[in-house]
Amino acid sequence: MTLDEAIARFEAEREKIWFESPKDIEALGRGEVPRGTGARGQYLSTIIFAEGEARTFADEMLWGIIRVCEDTEADLKTLQALIDQIIGYKASFFDFVSIPSAAEMTRLYVDASKLCETTDDLNRLTQAALGYANRLHMWVDYILPWGLGNAFPRKKPATA
């Protein structure tokens, strides 16, 4: 696969999930967890982990790489090594929390980053991956049962 083909794949996947949730995220929202992750037979923790992984992938990792590519004279080989180690691990974690579609796209990002010859190439790839990752995060966020938070209202601190 070429770099341009990888970028096109991210753009196509973003469009594919723009109005329709990935099937594996829908299944997770119904409690279908093929990997069996989740403590004591529940899947809430799996959704919480999936949300954290999707958020940090988009908001911290990909966004951070874009900022480094645009604002510094970073060494491409070092960035590629970090992507391989840190984001490669994240791909495996997406699989662990039963979102293989996100794992596949994250692995695509890691593999395509190795094709980049300049930080401008890496920036273009990362921009495309971020578009996909932001939409992915929105869908994972959608299945999180936010209403459960009502059972944990804030308390005023005890006064001394």
Average pLDDT over residues 7-17: 98
Q: List own/partner pairs for 61-67 with CB under 8 A and 24 or more apart.
A: 61/86, 61/87, 61/90, 62/126, 62/129, 62/130, 62/133, 63/130, 65/122, 65/123, 65/126, 66/123, 66/126, 66/127, 66/130
Q: pLDDT grade, residue 157 (50/70/90)?
A: confident
pLDDT of residue 160: 61
pTM score, whole prediction: 0.92
Q: pLDDT grade, residue 158 (50/70/90)?
A: confident
Q: pLDDT grade, residue 36 (50/70/90)?
A: confident
Q: Which residue's structure tokens are 């840190």?
A: 86
pLDDT of residue 19: 96
The 10s digit of each residue's pLDDT in 41-78 is 899 999 999 999 999 999 999 999 999 999 888 999 99
CA nearest to 146, candidates 48, 35, 4, 31: 48
The rounded distance, in Å, linking the Cα atoms of 82 and 69 is 13
pLDDT at 159 over 80: no
The domain ranges of the chain are 3-30+42-147
Q: pLDDT grade, residue 82 (50/70/90)?
A: very high
pLDDT of residue 26: 97
Average pLDDT, the chain: 95
Integer angstrom CA distances of residue 28 from 25, 82, 102: 5, 29, 13
pLDDT at 130 over 70: yes
